[in-house]
Amino acid sequence: MLKIMLETLRPRQWTKNLVIFAGLVFDRQLFQAAPVLRVLAAFFIFCMVSGLTYTINDIIDLRADRQHPQKCHRPIASGRLPLKYAVTLVLVLSVLSFSAAFFLSWKFGLICVGYTLLMLAYSKWLKHIMIVDVMVIATGFLLRVLAGINVISVTFFSPWLFILTALLALFLGFGKRFAELRLLEGSAGEFRKVLNGYSIPLLNQYLVVMLASILITYMLYTFSAHPQGLTYTMMLTIPFVFFGIFRYMYLIQNFNTASTPEEVLLKDRPLQAAILLWSIAVMLILYLRY
């Protein structure tokens, strides 16, 4: 039962919470013990909070998920996790996660509460509104970044990174909608009503706009976001970003398995390699001389 409960919390999707470390990394505090421990605690707490929202969402969408070709296998929809156990899990997680969040930082606690309320509103209403549904997902990523910088003191964190996070989240969100339309084909609207408002050509246009915006924003970030002496070396990371974005576009255009970004991240080796090389390059540029 504990294993099934853990599955209900969707640990695979906790990769999204890694953006909490953005403030720590780009503020060059990664090798300072106190900030690392605080952000690490924030990460695990946010994983509990996001798991809480996923469980509530599965309870709310129980009937619809049972008709979905993939979501019907989730623990609550399939009946492997009885509803009463799911409700108990929600209550326990609520007490533990919010108590820990406010104990760590009152600002972080408020962000966790705000994120939970936003996701509940998304599950109940906002996910049925075209474009707004993806914008809410992007807001969730911004709240994660804010969570990470509100548990430590930051000095060099660039506003460009907030814009980049929002654009990347929009890109992944529209990519997910694109893949869902391709996977579900003519019956897409039966499983997610908002898909009736989207079309493959429209989402292709959205993706192209987001792709161009991400690349331009990232280049501007590398040009101007760092102290003197780091500006030009950060430009060396641009090719990895180009490859990663283009690779993701290729995957969602050619494979139905790209219905969720975290699935792509966990399965596609070339994309993983691009992210790893980008991470190494950023670490060397930011930390080698400090």
In the chain, domain spans = 1-154, 158-290
Distance between CA atoms of residues 7 and 74, nearest Å: 8
Tokens describing residue 99: 């108590």
pLDDT tens profile 40-90: 999 999 999 999 998 888 888 777 777 766 777 778 877 787 888 888 888
Note the pTM of the prediction, 2 decimals. 0.84
Residue 258: per-residue pLDDT: 45
pLDDT tier, 238 (very low <50, low <70, confident <90, very high otherwise):
very high
Worst-scoring range by mean pLDDT, 8-12, 26-30, 86-90, 180-184? 180-184
pLDDT tier, 241 (very low <50, low <70, confident <90, very high otherwise):
very high
pLDDT tier, 218 (very low <50, low <70, confident <90, very high otherwise):
very high
CATH topology of domain 1-154: Tetracycline Repressor; domain 2 (1.10.357)
CA angle 285, 277, 153 (to 5 degrees): 45
Distance between CA atoms of residues 91 and 75, nearest Å: 18
Q: What is the mean pLDDT of the chain?
A: 85
Distance between CA atoms of residues 78 and 65, nearest Å: 9
pLDDT tier, 98 (very low <50, low <70, confident <90, very high otherwise):
very high
Which tops the pLDDT comparison, 289 or 287? 287
Residue 289: per-residue pLDDT: 62
Mean pLDDT of 108-116: 94
pLDDT tens profile 119-151: 989 888 888 888 999 999 899 999 999 999 999
Q: Which of 246, 161, 163 is nearest to 207 (CA)?
A: 246
Residue 71: per-residue pLDDT: 74
pLDDT above 90 covers what percent of the chain? 41
Q: Which of 8, 24, 26, 3 is nearest to 218 (CA)?
A: 26
Which tops the pLDDT comparison, 115 or 197? 115
Mean pLDDT of 196-216: 90
Mean pLDDT of 234-255: 87
pLDDT tier, 16 (very low <50, low <70, confident <90, very high otherwise):
confident
pLDDT above 70 covers what percent of the chain? 88
Q: Which of 129, 111, 113 is nearest to 19 (CA)?
A: 111
Residue 260: per-residue pLDDT: 63
Q: Are 163 and 141 in contact (CB under 8 A)?
A: no
Torsion of CA 50, 54, 60, 63, to 10 degrees: 170
